Amino acid sequence: MTKAAELAKMGEVITNGQIGGRRNLIINGAMQVAQRGTSFSGVTASGTFPVDRFLFHVGSLGTWTLSQSTDVPTGQGFAKSIKCDVTTADVSPTGTDYARIDHRFEGQDLQAFCKGTSNAKQFALSFYVKSPKTGTHIVELQDADNTRNISKAYTVSSANTWEKKELIIDADTTGAFDNDNAKSLTIAWWLSAGADYKSGTLATTWGSPTNANRVVGQVNIADSTSNDFYLTGVQLEVGEQVTPFEHRSYGEERQLCYRYYYQMKAATSFMKIGHGRAYSTTDTTATYTVPVPMRANPTGSVSAASDVGTAGLSAGGTTSVNPAAETMDDYSRFAINVTRGGGGYSAGTIYQIESDNNTNMTIKLYAEL
Amino acid sequence: MAEIKITNARYWRYPLTNEITHIYCNIDNSLEQSFVPIDENNKHYQAIQEWVAEGNTIEEAD
């Protein structure tokens, strides 16, 4: 094989996605990981993650059932997608009503874009979408560090049919992404928007956001309870070239998701969490380690305080549980504080903290952007 | 519109150290009691700050 032929072959191999790994900056782009659950009904407000890392963001615009679906594009290697099912329609969104799916990035993971420099790179975004509407849909990039946005329209040609979209979004020589663990960029797939977001001219270049120019032309996905919107195979790459989707293993994606949200659910009654020393008659702590360090000091919660027990003490006595009362500075290890309002501990004694006599206990640590 | 809905916010004093380290509250209408660290890099703490700026008050710790 000649040198030229070798180079051509190498280029082909790279383009076909056989080498050149870690091209995709999206976490869970194949929608495989859904720690919180696989279906959420009656959604009318923001905060639901139908799958990990993808946030449904909605205000005053319909009622939705969000789920991890097995409806996927044929022959592309995907098994899961996000499904957004309209259960109460909003035929005429008004004002600042909105519905969209967000994916958010830490600034330190975006430095390769060289944003804010003369060497700034383009954003190559690709995804598979199945929309109930033909016509214009909007994806928006939001730079949280410099308050700069850009919107990109894509066209759905056939309703209720999987289509792959490839968008090359302008580089931005103004405003660098902060090199830290805070939110720097949001990619938003709009599903519908009120007039306040649509009344101007679409902002197709980076600049300070003007609401009226953000979502111009967007169809209304929420106008009928027959409507279902699907998304999968999301990939963001540095540069001007979209390449085939970088499939990663479930285990690898799950580890990446744990940085932002981790929950552990008891699989058996009396599942042991850890051991610790009571420091009063009402309180004890125990320590546990999470699979990967979290992004930031997390919000902790448990399914119910009474789901957490103490071996050897009467069930149901727990009145409060702070799952992350203490933490290591890299957020890799935590102390859970268990309070028994009625007492029962003997100060200085070691206790075993465990789930109660059921499998209800779920401990949740939240460090999303 | 606020992205995160905060209700029933109260400071939490860590019994071991007697220091206020968290705010416990309900988030997005969940009945679960969430413990939000007093940390600027926590998204829920940011939301609580916005909630306070809107005129709401965090109750004193027990």
Tens digit of each residue's pLDDT, chain A (369 residues) = 677 776 766 665 565 544 566 899 999 999 999 999 999 999 999 999 999 999 999 999 999 999 999 999 999 999 999 999 999 999 999 999 999 999 999 999 999 999 999 999 999 999 999 999 999 999 999 999 999 999 999 999 999 999 999 999 999 999 999 999 999 999 999 999 999 999 999 999 999 999 999 999 999 999 999 999 999 999 999 999 999 999 999 999 999 999 999 999 999 999 999 999 999 999 999 999 999 999 999 999 999 999 999 999 998 899 999 999 999 999 999 999 999 999 999 999 999 999 999 999 999 999 999
Q: Could you tell me if A229 and A161 are in contact, meaning their C-beta atoms sit under 8 angstroms apart?
A: no
Q: Is residue B28 pLDDT above 80, yes or no?
A: yes
Q: A131-165: string of b/e by CB count within 10 Å (b at 16+)?
A: bbbeeebbbbbbbbbbebbbbbbbebeeeeebeeb
Residues on chain A touching B32 (C-beta within 8 angstroms): 301-304, 364
Residues on chain A touching B21 (C-beta within 8 angstroms): 325
Calculated CA dihedral for residues A82, A85, A91, A97, nearest 10 degrees: -50
Backbone φ/ψ region at B60: left (φ over 0), alpha (ψ -120 to 50), beta:
beta
Calculated CA dihedral for residues A179, A189, A79, A40, nearest 10 degrees: 100
Counted across chains A and B, CB pairs separated by less than 8 A come out at 81
Q: What pLDDT, on the 0 to 100 scale, is given for residue B62?
A: 86
Q: How far is CA B1 from CA A59, A97, A182, A191, A297, in A?
A: 7, 9, 21, 17, 25
- A323·B15 Cβ contact <8 A: no
Beta bridge partners of A289: A333
Contacts of A75 (CB under 8 A, 6+ apart): none
β-pairing verdict for A362-366 and A299-302: antiparallel
- B14·A337 Cβ contact <8 A: yes
As a whole number of angstroms, the distance between CA A155 and CA A136 comes to: 5
HSE (side-chain half, CA atoms, 13 Å) at A355: 17
Q: Could you tell me if A364 and A308 are in contact, meaning their C-beta atoms sit under 8 angstroms apart?
A: no
- A325·B42 Cβ contact <8 A: no
Residues on chain B touching A364 (C-beta within 8 angstroms): 32
- B36·A299 Cβ contact <8 A: yes
Q: Does A220 touch chain B (CB under 8 A)?
A: no
Q: Determine the longest span between alpha carbons in chain A, in angstroms.
A: 81
Window B:18-47, CB contacts with A under 8 Å = 21-22, 24, 27-30, 32-37, 39, 41-44
pLDDT in tens, B33-60: 999 999 999 999 999 999 999 999 999 9
Domains delineated in chain A:
3-258 (2.60.120.260), 261-366 (no CATH)
Q: What pLDDT, on the 0 to 100 scale, is given for residue A20?
A: 63
Q: What pLDDT, on the 0 to 100 scale, is given for residue A13?
A: 52
As a whole number of angstroms, the distance between CA A149 and CA A142 comes to: 5
pTM of the predicted protein model:
0.94
- CA distance, residue B55 to nearest chain A CA (Å): 21
Q: What pLDDT, on the 0 to 100 scale, is given for residue A1?
A: 61
CA dihedral sign of residues A313, A290, A47, A247: negative
- A325·B22 Cβ contact <8 A: yes
Q: What pLDDT, on the 0 to 100 scale, is given for residue A22?
A: 85
